[in-house]
Amino acid sequence: MQRIAFKMQLNKGQKAEYKKRHDEIWPELKRFLKDSGVSEFSIFFDEETNILFAFQTVTGEDGSQDLGETEIVKKWWKFMSDIMEVNEDNSPVTVSLEEIFYLD
């Protein structure tokens, strides 16, 4: 198991919509993430900067951001692309964060 953290940029004024979409996450996407080894997936929001902080535990080397070759993930990224900063392929612009401390 490894812990992965990264940040993303939400467009201004989109917090409620972002939360709504995640509250209604597609069951097939949720199942795919779990089947791909992603667990303990949390996303936090910083009101001052509109930055999203994501944390997940994964088995293997890849986290959710590495699953973009699948149709369900591509569909989700396109669905989310109007409310956050994205790359040309609609994947969220992410900045990986280095773990400095962990208390088990």
Q: What is the pLDDT of residues 3-15, one digit of tens each?
A: 999 999 999 999 9
Q: Indicate whether this model's pTM tops 0.85.
A: yes
Q: Is 22 a catalytic residue?
A: yes
Q: What domains, with CATH codes, occur in the chain? A: 2-97 (3.30.70.100)
Does residue 59 have a pLDDT over 80? yes
- pLDDT average, residue stretch 57-75: 84
Per-residue pLDDT at 68? 80
Catalytic residue from among 3, 19, 20, 22: 22
The DSSP code sequence of the chain is -EEEEEEEEBPTT-HHHHHHHHHT--HHHHHHHHHTTEEEEEEEEETTTTEEEEEEEESSS--GGG-TTSHHHHHHHHHHTTSB-B-TTSPBPEEEE-------
